[in-house]
Amino acid sequence: MNTPHFYRPTWVQIDLAAVASNYSTLKKRLPAGTKMMAAVKANAYGHGIVEVSKKLAQCGIDYLGVASVDEALVLRHGGVRTPILNLGAFLKGDSEAIVKNDITATITDWDTAKCLDSYAGVFKKKAKVHIKIDTGMGRLGVWHDEADEFIIKVCSLSNLLIEGIYTHFPSADSDESFTRSQIAVFSTLVSKLTIKGIEIPLRHTANSMAVLGFKNSHFNLVRPGLALYGLHPKDEWLGKIDLAPVLSFKTKVVYTKNVARGRSISYGRTYTTKKDTKIVTLPVGYGDGYNRLLSNKARVLIHGEVYPVVGRVCMDQTMVDVGQARVRVGDEVVLVGCQKNRVIYVEDIARICRTIPYEVVCWISPRVPRIYLNV
């Protein structure tokens, strides 16, 4: 492991071998010939967009999915040549960058389609596009009952190549009936286009939840995100699906203090010691993405033992009550991850904060260094 030098001892450890393992696990669940697009938007869910994408490219990933042109450019400037789909809408002013950098664009309306076609003509290129269909998300995309006529219209633009068509599930983890209705609507649209002589090569709907739970949503391309990072779309799947956690969040003890019974700890005096004890201070806080909602609720691992976070999590520091344990300055502390056969999962943090694992990993600030294993 090449450990970059940094002074503040708080870091995130990313195991790229786990990314490769999760890719293989998901790939085995797909029918032969089904392609995979990895969602690497939001800095690969906080894991590092360039490093994760390069590992996935080594594994043979077919496509990378980003949320903006800027994210696609970070990949291109980082030397990633894998096809990239911008899953977000784009403005007309983005068209030149899209064409020049071979970014596949999502088409959601006629005006941006025409603009992209014009720029592609200037550069004498065929710009690849995927048409976004709204089957019930109510966000981006052409309504499914208007989509066939819209696609016929886009086919008239000579400098665009319609490579794909896709939709998005808003509730695959909570509403099976609605998700199945979306799959049926999307299938009907694909059949209607075929009857009209329009064969679009790539058809995709499946996020991580659908890859694992809705086989008829796979079509010929899937686009997992969460599962590639070893995270579970449903809590009850934790430990039941062979996904390897990719991210560990660690810090070190920077200060210890013997504190008498009856002393208050941190802002707002929300915690008072019940007996003579030792309080240790960690150089990590909500400014790093260790959420304030974890105050007086979270647990950390030190020497493989579990200790409670006490008092309010501060912007840059957090306190832990270690009782009379032999904990010293410099000892490693695991906030998320494994230590001596004990584990704190991202899902545990999400449960405490009453949110989803996606948000927990995206919270982790850019000021927290990332260390990559098994590059």
Please give the residue range of the domain that contains residue 126: 16-233
Q: Among the listed ranges 4-8, 16-20, 257-261, which one has the minimum average pLDDT value? A: 4-8
pLDDT of residue 150 exceeding 90, the answer is: yes
284 and 311: one domain? yes
Looking at the chain, the whole-number percentage of residues with pLDDT higher than 70 is 99
Mean pLDDT of 119-139: 96
Q: Each residue of 169-189: pLDDT tens digit?
A: 999 989 999 999 999 999 999
Contact by Cβ (8 Å): 80, 64: yes
pLDDT digits (tens, 9 = 90+) for 57-97: 999 999 999 999 999 999 999 999 999 999 999 999 999 99
**What tens digit of pLDDT does each residue of 210-260 get?**
999 999 999 999 999 999 999 988 877 777 788 999 999 999 999 999 999
Residue 277 CB contacts under 8 Å (≥ 6 apart), including other chains: 258, 259, 261, 321, 322, 323, 324
Looking at the domain assignment, is residue 136 inside a domain?
yes
For residues 48 and 68, give the distance between their C-alpha atoms in angstroms, rounded to a whole number.
16
- pLDDT tens readout for residues 285-318: 999 999 999 999 999 999 999 999 999 999 999 9
The total of structural domains in the chain comes to 2
- Which string of DSSP letters, residue by residue, matches 44-92? HHHT-HHHHHHHHHHHT--EEEESSHHHHHHHHHTT--S-EEE-S---G
Q: What values do phi and psi take at 321, rounded to 5?
A: -95, 115
Residue 225 and residue 262 in one domain = no
Q: Does residue 363 belong to any structural domain of this protein?
A: no
User: What type of residue is 295?
Assistant: S
Active site positions, annotated: 41, 267
Domain boundary among 178, 207, 233: 233
The sign of the dihedral angle between the CA atoms of 185, 186, 189, 190 is negative
In a domain, 201, yes or no: yes
Under a CB-based contact definition with an 8 Å cutoff, are residues 86 and 130 in contact?
A: no
Amino acid of residue 1: M
Quote the tokens at residue 278.
């030792």
Clarify whether residues 107 and 52 are in a common domain.
Answer: yes
Q: Within this chain, do residues 229 and 253 fall inside the same structural domain, yes or no?
A: no
Does residue 222 sit in the same domain as residue 275?
no
Element (H, E) at 347: helix 346-353
State residue 240 phi and psi, 5-degree precision: -105, -15
112 plus 213 within the same structural domain: yes
What percentage of the chain exceeds 90 in pLDDT?
Answer: 94
At 4 the pLDDT is: 57
The arithmetic mean of pLDDT across residues 23-42, rounded, is 96
If asked whether residues 154 and 63 sit together in one domain, one would say yes
Residue 233 confidence (pLDDT): 84
Q: Are residues 43 and 91 in the same domain?
A: yes
The whole-model pTM stands at: 0.93
Determine contact, residues 90/105, Cβ cutoff 8 Å: yes
Q: Are residues 151 and 175 in the same domain?
A: yes
Give CA–CA dist 87/64, Å, rounded: 10
Closest CA to 221 of 181, 164, 179: 164
- CA distances for 281 relative to 257, 300, 318, 321, angstroms: 8, 12, 6, 9
Pair of tokens at residue 223 = 């686009």
Judge whether 374 lies within some domain.
no
**pLDDT, position 1:** 44
CB count in 10 Å sphere of residue 9: 17
CATH of the domain at 305: 2.40.37.10
| Shared domain check, 201 and 68 | yes
Nearest to 299 by CA among 322, 325, 273: 322
| Tens-digit pLDDT profile for residues 310-360 | 999 999 999 999 999 999 999 999 999 999 999 999 999 999 999 999 999
Q: Write the CB contacts of 159 (distance below 8 Å, at least 6 apart in sequence).
A: 117, 118, 120, 121, 125, 126, 127
Q: Both tokens of residue 325?
A: 């344990």
Q: What is the mean pLDDT of the chain?
A: 95
The angle at the Cα of 239, spanning 343 to 291, to the nearest 5 degrees, equals 45
